[in-house]
Structure 1
Amino acid sequence: MTLYDSFSAISSTLLTVAKGTIVASTGISILLSGLLYFKQSSLIYPRYLPEGARTEVASPDDLNIRSWEGVKLTTKDGETLNSFFLKAVKPKGVTVLFMHGNAGNIGHRLPIAKVFSDQMGCNIFMLSYRGYGFSTGRPSEKGLIIDAEAALNYILEHPDCKHDKIFIYGQSLGGALAIKLAARNQEKVHGLILENTFRSMRTLIPSAFPPAKYLARLCHQVWPSETTLPGIREVPTLFLSGARDELVPPDHMKTLYNLCNAPKVWREFPNGTHNETVAEPGYFERIYEFILAVRKGQLEKIGVVRGAERKEAVDEKVGKKRE
């Protein structure tokens, strides 16, 4: 059985989160014209979507996940983050810090985490951002960075992770947060996995929400990945791009790949949409081969490009796949 086969039953869960994200996006395009500056937190971080996202969080027990801990992280500014730490069934010396997208909660992503823990042999820490799920506080760029630092410190101090390779895995907004965290902790992080993330919030607004394109400069939740990512030079980075992403234009991922100065790998999924790239055939196999290559020091076996050696590499690879 492939990793994809084991994951085929979760499409309804992904669709639920996708609907929440799309509703939020529609709301942004209508409301940003008058409310961008003062209400952007609730628009950019739609933590109440889908319905029940703040009152109902699935437990790992609901998915028969064998070994896990509920973790109440206290941040340096006093927020409580109700997160999950899932332990690998057959540990392979890898721990993954999982950063999810801007809608839903960690319970919605448990099917993804289960693949990591049960089939890849990875411990996985599922960070519940402030203001999401059962966590306290209100989300903001500054606050989420504090949350991510608290999660990484927890992993580094956990007895089950002492000798592990640490990977950060971020989807969409979580990818922007993963880039920020990796840039600040390059000596502690062994791999970075980015899925369908954006160059910056200000560059995303004109393409994703055209009615508000002239107001992008008012966005104070910046998430400047295109300026942060080039500073990461030694952390191997895997780019997972859905070619049919309807929310974040795929050229955002291509730009980030070309800006990346670290050892990097590009993987494109021709039918991948913003929220369902994770359900595409081969998705988890690509992650697993990357993790193994990093762990064994064999990046050359998966076609890694060293930093900015060839900035045109991604366009060449995409062109070959489409021929």
Structure 2
Amino acid sequence: MSQFLSFPTDIQSLVRFIYNSLRFVTVASTTVAFLLSTLLYFKQNSLIYPSYLPEGARTKVPRPDEYEISDWEEVTLTTPDKEKLNSYLLYSSKKENPGVTVLFLHGNAGNIGHRLPIARIFSEQMGFNIFMLSYRGYGLSTGRPCEKGLLIDAQTALEYLLKTERTKDTKIVLYGQSLGGALSIQLVNKNQDKISGLILENTFRSMRILIPTAFPPARYLAKMCHQVWPSETTLPKIKECPVLFLSGGKDELVPPDHMRVLHEVCVSPVKIFKEFPNGTHNDTVGEEGYFDTIQAFIQQVKKGKF
């Protein structure tokens, strides 16, 4: 019979058996915890930024002309650290100056081509320009995504819009979904005199607070996450920019209370909270009244009513 199955008969042997067994369990548990911690620390970017999903997202990026969008251009931005961001700029379908350019910062999976039906509503039905930023490591853009890198990407896009001919005389409104909302908050905080409005959809308080619900097996290791995205502590630093909060009441990835907390800590003189009771994380955009709410908000920004 194996020594691991034999049971000691005298008390001293029993004590040694228990001690050795506990020491083995402790060492094994420590080893597993170390391996999990190491995996989380070094592989967390792949978990937080699944730019490879869905399959083909890094190689197949739908183009605007596939959706019969005619007035657009492909813009390849070069960041200060030499990454190439293959993005789209869709122009307003209206002949007059649209007055507003929306900077669209998307969620953490897929690519900009997957969001073209959304962008088309902004450019054709609402009549605004919309810039679709392709982050580093997403779609056909070079590099690997990380918090620091995405902040550089967003700043590069903003500076482009502020100087390029057809957008430089328009007001800039940020529209961020989920991760894009966290990115939008950081961008507004650093450019409060350049951005006229902020729209947040299903955004989280911080990555460390989100991990226990989004990645339950890693809940005890959340503090090791080096991709912080501190929306809750950054948002109160935004003093003047009007903010629209769009919250899906049935969001299964980001608990709806994250959006409520962000609304509560926001100190902007204009902050609007709109809940869509049946909206889940990815389909809140399809809820009735979603785009009407956005259009009303941007129109007020455009007219300087806030």
If the length of structure 1 is used for normalisation, what is the TM-score? 0.82
Aligned counterpart, 2:229: 223
CA deviation string 1:161-183 (max 9, x = no partner): 12211100000000000000010
1:160 is paired with a residue whose SS is coil
Structure whose CA Rg is larger: 2
Aligned counterpart, 1:138: 144
Distance 2:280 2:264 in 1: 21
Aligned residues: 269
Letter in 1 for 2:287: E
Matched, 1:67 2:71: yes
Letter in 2 for 1:251: D
Aligned counterpart, 1:240: 246
Matched, 1:298 2:305: yes
Letter in 1 for 2:112: I
Distance 1:68 1:240 in 2: 27
Q: Is the 8 A contact 1:58 1:107 kept in 2?
A: yes
Residue 64 of structure 1 and its aligned partner are, at CA, apart by 0.6
Letter in 1 for 2:121: V
**How do residues 1-323 of structure 1 correspond to structure 2 at under 5 angstroms?**
35-90=39-94, 91-262=97-268, 263-299=270-306
Residue 33 of structure 1 and its aligned partner are, at CA, apart by 6.1
Distance 2:265 2:69 in 1: 38
Letter in 2 for 1:210: P
Residue 108 of structure 1 and its aligned partner are, at CA, apart by 0.2
Q: Is the 8 A contact 1:66 1:89 kept in 2?
A: no
Which structure is higher in RCO with an 8 Å CA cutoff and minimum separation 6? 1
Distance change in 2, residues 1:297/1:204 (3 Å):
same
Distance 2:257 2:135 in 1: 27
1:82 is paired with a residue whose SS is strand
Letter in 1 for 2:203: T
CA RMSD of aligned residues (A): 1.1
1:176 is paired with a residue whose SS is helix
If the length of structure 2 is used for normalisation, what is the TM-score? 0.86
Letter in 2 for 1:275: N
Distance 1:297 1:188 in 2: 14
1:119 is paired with a residue whose SS is helix
Residue 66 of structure 1 and its aligned partner are, at CA, apart by 1.6
Structure 1 unmatched ranges of 5 or more: 1-30, 300-323
Distance 1:188 1:32 in 2: 43
Distance 1:32 1:80 in 2: 33
Residue 32 of structure 1 and its aligned partner are, at CA, apart by 6.0
Q: Is the 8 A contact 1:33 1:211 kept in 2?
A: no
| Identity across matched positions, percent | 68
Distance change in 2, residues 1:32/1:233 (3 Å):
farther
Distance 2:301 2:181 in 1: 19
Distance 2:71 2:300 in 1: 26
Distance 1:151 1:163 in 2: 15
Q: Is the 8 A contact 1:81 1:127 kept in 2?
A: yes
Distance 1:73 1:166 in 2: 18
Structure 2 unmatched ranges of 5 or more: 1-34
Distance 1:203 1:273 in 2: 19
Residue 269 of structure 1 and its aligned partner are, at CA, apart by 0.2
Distance change in 2, residues 1:147/1:32 (3 Å):
farther
Distance 1:291 1:76 in 2: 31
